[in-house]
Amino acid sequence: MSAAGRRPRPLHDALFANRRLMLMGLAFSAAMSLLALTTSFYMLQVYDRVLTSRSAETLALLTIIAAVAIAVFSWLDSLRLRLMQRIALRTADALGRKILRAMVAAASQTGGALSRNGLRDLETVKNFIGSPAVNTLMDAPFTLVFLVVLALLHWLLLVVVLIGGAILVGLAWAGQRLTNPSLIQAIELQARTHNFAEDALRNADVLEGMGMSATFVERWHAQWIASMRKGTLSADRDSKLTAMSRAVRMLIQIALLGIGAMLILNLQATGGIMIAASIIGARALAPIETGVATYKSFIAARLAWDRIEDVLNSSPRRDEGMALPAPQGRLGAARIGYLHPQSRRTILANVSFELQPGDSLGVIGPSASGKSTLARLLVGAWPCTAGSVRLDGADIYSWPRAELSRFVGYLPQDVELFAGTVRENIARMAEGDPALVVQAARLAGAHDMILQLPKGYDTELGGRGLRLSGGQAQRVGIARALYGEPKLVVLDEPNSNLDAAGEEALLATLANLKKAGVTVVIIA
């Protein structure tokens, strides 16, 4: 496949950007593999040199050398763990904002059902990269060191370890074939169960108000039990595989000791060689055994990896142009249409109009006729599948979003306020100029209402903060749409939650916007 047609691999690229640190980790692994022979050679020298010469000085010297080697091994092991944690952190930091942006884009246009767990998946991958399991994988290439040493001790010892390793690999392969389907299903069911519970928290008022909690909990419990059963089935098979792997490893050690003893009887080896071979054989097989034990976390990380790349590669892309001068508010729609990306249903077709600065447009129609879709197209939240929406002659979807946000205000049909203060919400989650915040609130007729809140503009919303009524949230949402110096304001059913006083304030707001030369589109 050509470079142009190759599927992008953003997570792989982010990890590969840390290749120097990874090479350093491999260098540590190489040094640690040599130092891991310390215990074996210590036993070899004690049995074959110290016990025969009965030299306490030699024993003391060997002990000091072994202690220093083990101390260096421990230091390198600590450095490698910290190094991998840094790689994990850098990889997550490089992708976190990209993933959240992709999740927002996918959720905006398609509902984002497949992208809800993007950040959770990133955490799973980060934890795996920084875990000891990856260090064991890094040790695997240097198993050759132990095999060479075994061959130098005696070729029969090498044959035993190779046969044992082949058996362990076969068990791992068979276990993967048996546990993989149920493990993948368990992980996917767990994610759905978590999402189902999160939906309950977001709609807690409906559940409690309509007495639906018990039914909802039972549905959640049924999903949870299904995921637990799949997980238990996978765990049962995995435990059998782990037990068999341990049994094989113990049999290999017994075989090494038995062959070592036979070689001693035939005067082809010493007691030190027998003990050293047992220790070295265990070290040679450790990566395989550890890989079997950590297989579940590896599969979870691999699935999370694949989902992250799917989110990043499938999310809508926006080709933003260069920064443009501040618009005057001239809005044009030229035969715009929109085809829903999932249902492939035509929502809008051949919509055209032209508005000059200060003009107002009311859009009236039945439910599900595409009015809210039109609002999203007009502010550049969604791309047109036909035609284009232009602000002062420039395609609004390609306008740099950071620049456009200063000139466009948008009130969606369902107003959502974020966790933060009233001031931060009006300032669109930026630090915000207090004077501009108050100006927007006054223009929206929300200033007096906000002052009645416990801490005024510093009142915390969302999470553990205050929950506003529908009308209060609507007025704060309108103030957010009017923050700064917008030249285009699109309001989707702005009076849906307002009382009589709120509607009077809205009418005054619209009149003031017209005087200020702001182009306004109202969805009714």
Q: What pLDDT does 464 receive?
A: 62
Binning pLDDT at 50, 70 and 90, where does residue 438 land?
very high
Q: What pLDDT does 292 receive?
A: 73
Helical ranges in 428-485 per DSSP H: 434-443, 447-451, 470-481
What mean pLDDT comes out for the span 270-277? 83
88 neighbors 139 (Cβ within 8 angstroms): no
* DSSP strand pairing (346-355 vs 331-339): antiparallel
pLDDT tens-digit map of 165-174? 888 888 878 7
Predicted confidence (pLDDT) at residue 321 exceeds the cutoff of 70: no
Q: What pLDDT does 208 receive?
A: 67
Predicted confidence (pLDDT) at residue 524 exceeds the cutoff of 90: no
Give the number of other CB atoms < 10 A from CB of residue 58: 14
The fold for domain 144-293 equals: ABC transporter transmembrane region fold (1.20.1560)
| 84 or 1, greater pLDDT | 84
Predicted confidence (pLDDT) at residue 2 exceeds the cutoff of 60: no
User: Exposed, middle or buried by CB within 10 Å (0-12, 13-18, 19+), for 250?
Assistant: exposed
User: Exposed, middle or buried by CB within 10 Å (0-12, 13-18, 19+), for 427?
Assistant: buried
Q: What pLDDT does 7 receive?
A: 65
131/489 Cα distance (integer angstroms): 50
Structure tokens at 24: 């350093």
Predicted confidence (pLDDT) at residue 458 exceeds the cutoff of 70: yes
Q: What pLDDT does 345 receive?
A: 82
Ranges 64-73, 165-174, 226-235, 269-278, most confident: 64-73
Residue 461's SS3 state is strand
For the sheet with 394-395, list strands across it: 346-355, 331-339, 386-391, 394-395
Give the number of other CB atoms < 10 A from CB of residue 308: 25
Predicted confidence (pLDDT) at residue 296 exceeds the cutoff of 80: no
- The label of the residue with tokens 């089935």 reads 233
Share of the chain above pLDDT 70, in %: 93
79 neighbors 28 (Cβ within 8 angstroms): yes
Predicted confidence (pLDDT) at residue 72 exceeds the cutoff of 90: yes
Structure tokens at 471: 């009308």
Q: What pLDDT does 281 receive?
A: 87
User: Exposed, middle or buried by CB within 10 Å (0-12, 13-18, 19+), for 503?
Assistant: middle
496/420 Cα distance (integer angstroms): 24
Q: What pLDDT does 117 receive?
A: 77
What mean pLDDT comes out for the span 460-473? 78
Of the listed ranges 69-83, 156-170, 225-239, the one predicted with least confidence:
225-239
What mean pLDDT comes out for the span 409-417? 87
98/112 Cα distance (integer angstroms): 15
**Among candidates 46, 131, 34, which has minimal Cα distance to 73?**
34
- In angstroms, what is the C-alpha Rg of the chain? 33
Q: CA-CA distances (angstroms) from residue 464 to 24, 120, 323, 460?
A: 45, 22, 39, 8
Binning pLDDT at 50, 70 and 90, where does residue 60 land?
very high
256 neighbors 285 (Cβ within 8 angstroms): no
Binning pLDDT at 50, 70 and 90, where does residue 316 land?
low
123 neighbors 89 (Cβ within 8 angstroms): no
327/361 Cα distance (integer angstroms): 18
Binning pLDDT at 50, 70 and 90, where does residue 242 land?
confident
The fold for domain 331-523 equals: Rossmann fold (3.40.50)
Q: What pLDDT does 1 receive?
A: 42
118-129 and 56-110 helices cross at what angle (nearest 10)?
170
What mean pLDDT comes out for the span 299-312? 84
Residue 460's SS3 state is strand
Compute the mean pLDDT over every residue in the chain, rounded to the nearest whole number: 84
Q: What pLDDT does 299 receive?
A: 81
The structural domains of the chain, with segments of one domain joined by +, span 7-131, 144-293, 331-523
pLDDT tens-digit map of 182-237? 777 777 787 778 777 777 776 666 666 666 677 777 888 888 888 888 778 777 77
Predicted confidence (pLDDT) at residue 115 exceeds the cutoff of 70: no
